[in-house]
Structure 1
Amino acid sequence: MMFGSADALVQLAIKSRDPYVAAAVHELATGITKLELEALICGTRRTALAIARWEHTPASVLTALAGVHDEAIELRLDKNPGTSSSVLSGLYEEARSKDKAGLTKLIAQHLNSGTEVLRRIALHANDSECLLALSKNPAANAKVLAELSERASGSDIAVAIHKNIAQNASASAELLTRIFDASDVYTQAAILGHANCPAWLIAKAAASEEVLMMRVLARNRRVSKESLQRYAACEDAGVRAGVAANVLTPVALFRHLIKDKSELVRREVASRIDLSEEHIEALSRDDDIWVRQRVARSPTTSLDVLYRLAVDETADVRRAVARNSMSTVHLLNMLAEDTSAWVRSGVAYQVNASQRILSKLADDKDVNVLSGVANNPNTPQSILKALVGSSDTDVRRGVILNKSATRNTLLPLLEDPYYLHRVLLVHNPHLQAQDKWSLRDDPDFQVRFSVYRWAANICLKMPDTFLVTK
């Protein structure tokens, strides 16, 4: 082994004749070497199309592919989430000059599209699908949305445009206010749930008896306590469920909500972390399985209640106890012998599980249980080494993802038959550089790309130093 520079890594990539390896190091290259890499990437049209579509392709490669001027490649670039703003701007100019509505729509909905491009689409696009796509794009700022709304007013798509704007995080308070009165109840409800909806509009809408609006407002943290008290008596269970979920709901209302006739309401109450022991005790005896399950998972539930729920007739409730961060080793030891593998697997994933418990569960035959043991950082290293030989991919992946797995435990997995596992190992902090570099000639292109991309990222941080093998 020897230490080489970023240039040495680029030369190795060129020597490999691998288009995906070339893509991985493209960002490091300049001049003639960059052209050589691009020749490999575009070696065949099929390869260029695949790389243009691939979500892991570096932005610099996507920029280079934009210069090929192939309509099929451009289509894939418009869809690729990594395509840069500058590339999208250039693609928009071409799409507009050739009246390609399909490509313009893709640019209108792309999260990397620049404000100026989106503004031009709002003002000049004639295709309704483009305008609808733009109205949903959070990259469109408040000014663009306002111009789009003004242009759409009176048109056949105005209702749909305003409904999308009401759900767009970029919409301003001024715009939301302007479209509120002219909108249908569904759009109005979306506006009331928007983070930028002005407080005075929420206060005004609180007087409404429209069920959909009350459902939204019941969950809103800016609604008054007086409104919450009124909503708590509403006939609609959805409204009452909203009150039960609202963090501002007065504690005094809980004694009514925990006895609500709708299990939807009681489930919302059971999910809260500000309940008293009295409330938790009552909910822990609820007839609804999911109410008891939420109580069993709550970190505020007492040990006495957890022990009782640990023998509940429903496995999902017992599993919730097993997953509860407050469960003790004694309680987990009891649940580790549960008749349900679903419950035992909950214990296996539990951060409070002792090595003794995990050692016992390592003899289990159920894959879900063994996957939990493999994932658990408390599992003894000797057991992790044994699980490396499992025939089940989930179990082996559990070892790879285990934060406590040592290098010696992980080394055999470099030859794992599943490519994704080898990709994960490239990013594992416990393996050394030479371990990861050994995968550079892997049969799978995604593994090879990952290795060279990992190496390229190190070179970007430390341009003059990288470990390579001749």
Structure 2
Amino acid sequence: MRSSPDRSGTARRHWRELAERACTDEAPFAAAALYPYAAPRERAGLEARMFGERRDRLLLASAPFVAPAVLARLAALDDGGAVQLRLARNPATSAAALGALWRADASPRLRQLIARHARTPRAVLGQIAAAAGEIETLRALCENGGVAAEVLATVSERRIGVLQRLLAVNIATAEDTLLALWAEADDEAVRAQILLHPHCPDVLLATVPASLLERRCLARQQRAPRALLAELANDRDAAVRRAAAENPGTPLAALVANCFDADATVRHAVAARRDLPPALAGCLVDDADARVRRALARNPACPPELLVRPATDADAEVRRAAARHPHCPHELLDRLSRDEVTWVQAAVAYRDELPYAVLRRLARSSDVDVLAGVARHPATAPSRLARLAIHDCPDVRRAVILNPRTPRMVLRLLRQDGYALHRAMAVDHPRFADTDRWRMRDDPDVQVRFRVFQHFARRDAMPAAHEASVHVTQLSHYQPHPPKEHMETT
């Protein structure tokens, strides 16, 4: 909070109005935006709005964008199964809240969700492992990358076949546990996953296995001996050769033959290597497969002098890849900006370092992909951005907001954009003024209002509430449901 008396008075007036609006808002999220920053005496009214109706508690329990403090308070209410299950699924639920949800007599489904959650405290995971009797809970535990290695070792000692592959996949599984799994496993998929594991025992990386699946995984193992990788780079199976060609540990000398491999995917893997020597790049620049030429043209390791041929390639995607090369010469960019295919021109437009004459030429295009690149370019003139901010295509308008140098007067044109996504993004733009944000406190979209309320709550937070707000997770993308994190398996 600033020390200016006038600013303090404005902050208090803003806070009072926001609190009144939050308590009467149709959705509980406005109150949730204020809650982490409210003084203790102010939280009772906000809690009444957030938690008074079961429907609102269910909404908050599922929302990944609300502050952990709200979810923790909700977890402490002991509100029954549906709310608890949603909290246990919510990726934003804190470790403390998950600890409050855990109890030995919890339902099997709740135990499974807590066992799988990335933020569950290790002590709780250990208790779940000790108490769990059903396979599904143990399965969820084995899928949690934050579990302690000793807990996974305990689970491994149960010798449950259906859990072996999950244990072999889990990044936390220790070397001795993997060695024990290798001795017990009859499934080649389990052994293959052990060979791929970052903690794979060195003794298992000494010889080339007979199983095709195991060789494919060993070829991806970055700790495998270089001599072994060189042998796998000449394997009879194309997938093994491709994996070895992608492995940064494979000696470059072993890749010469792969540049002329009969399988195009192997040559593609070589062309995409970030340590590709110029000599090997020269072998691939005229490859018969356009996908190989495209990978090479996009590769920063490709020498700029070799880009002349990709820039005139018959395949438009290869020319586009050349336009995206980080060191593409300006004379080639000028040529590609005149390409007959607008998709190639768009690749030029999305580059930050462009000669002004090229940018001005692209700005005269009518293609929306090209104009989107122009709209996000930091050197685009404000007058041009103002015209693009009212373009019919939402992608172009969105690019204007993504431009960090878009001036405030242009951003104000997007304050009433038909897409709630754009209005929410404008609220977070560094050049958007607080007076503009304040006028959006009645926005019809709940998440736009959430961002507005959160901004002013954070700005005007009382000193007593400031410490509680330090760890608030900010919403960086407008998405009701964030992408799920998956663990990669063979």
TM-score under structure 1 length normalisation: 0.91
Alignment deviations for residues 396-448 of structure 1 (CA, whole Å, 9 cap, x no partner): 11010112222222221122221111111222112223222322221211111
Deviation at 1:268, TM superposition (A): 0.7
Q: Distance in 1 between matches of 2:383 and 2:284?
A: 43
How does 1:202-213 map onto structure 2 within 5 Å?
Answer: 202-203=205-206, 206-213=207-214
Residue segments in structure 2 that go unaligned for 5+ positions in a row:
1-5, 467-490
Which of 48, 54, 63 lines up with 1:54 in the alignment?
A: 63
Which of 29, 36, 45 lines up with 2:45 in the alignment?
A: 36
Q: Distance in 1 between matches of 2:44 and 2:233?
A: 68
Q: Distance in 1 between matches of 2:14 and 2:212?
A: 64
Calculate the aligned-residue CA RMSD, in Å: 2.1
2:74 corresponds to:
65
Are the equivalent residues in 2 in contact too, given 1:258–1:282 (CA < 8 A)? yes
Q: Distance in 2 between matches of 1:277 and 1:116?
A: 53
Are the equivalent residues in 2 in contact too, given 1:10–1:28 (CA < 8 A)? no
How does 1:101-116 map onto structure 2 within 5 Å?
Answer: 101-116=108-123
Query: For 2:8, what is the secondary structure of its paired residue?
Result: strand
2:486 corresponds to:
none
Query: For 1:46, what is the secondary structure of its paired residue?
Result: helix
Q: Distance in 2 between matches of 1:71 and 1:287?
A: 60
AA aligned to 2:55 is R
2:130 corresponds to:
123
Q: Distance in 2 between matches of 1:70 and 1:209?
A: 54
Number of aligned residue pairs: give it. Answer: 455
1:163 corresponds to:
165
Q: Distance in 1 between matches of 2:161 and 2:303?
A: 51
2:170 is the counterpart of 1:147: no
Q: Distance in 2 between matches of 1:405 and 1:134?
A: 47
AA aligned to 1:159 is G
AA aligned to 1:76 is R
How does 1:350-429 map onto structure 2 within 5 Å?
Answer: 350-429=351-430
Q: Distance in 1 between matches of 2:10 and 2:57?
A: 28
AA aligned to 2:387 is A
AA aligned to 1:160 is V
Are the equivalent residues in 1 in contact too, given 2:390–2:397 (CA < 8 A)? yes
1:76 corresponds to:
86
Q: Distance in 2 between matches of 1:234 and 1:458?
A: 61
Are the equivalent residues in 2 in contact too, given 1:296–1:309 (CA < 8 A)? yes
Deviation at 1:87, TM superposition (A): 2.1
| Cα 1:299–1:87 shift into 2, 3 Å | closer
1:468 corresponds to:
none
| Cα 1:464–1:226 shift into 2, 3 Å | closer
AA aligned to 1:139 is G
1:188 corresponds to:
191
| Cα 1:295–1:128 shift into 2, 3 Å | same
Are the equivalent residues in 2 in contact too, given 1:6–1:463 (CA < 8 A)? no
2:143 corresponds to:
136
| Cα 1:212–1:123 shift into 2, 3 Å | same
AA aligned to 1:37 is L
Q: Distance in 2 between matches of 1:8 and 1:177?
A: 65
Are the equivalent residues in 1 in contact too, given 2:39–2:464 (CA < 8 A)? no
Alignment deviations for residues 49-104 of structure 1 (CA, whole Å, 9 cap, x no partner): 112211111111112222051322122111111112222222221xx42x511111
2:100 is the counterpart of 1:90: yes
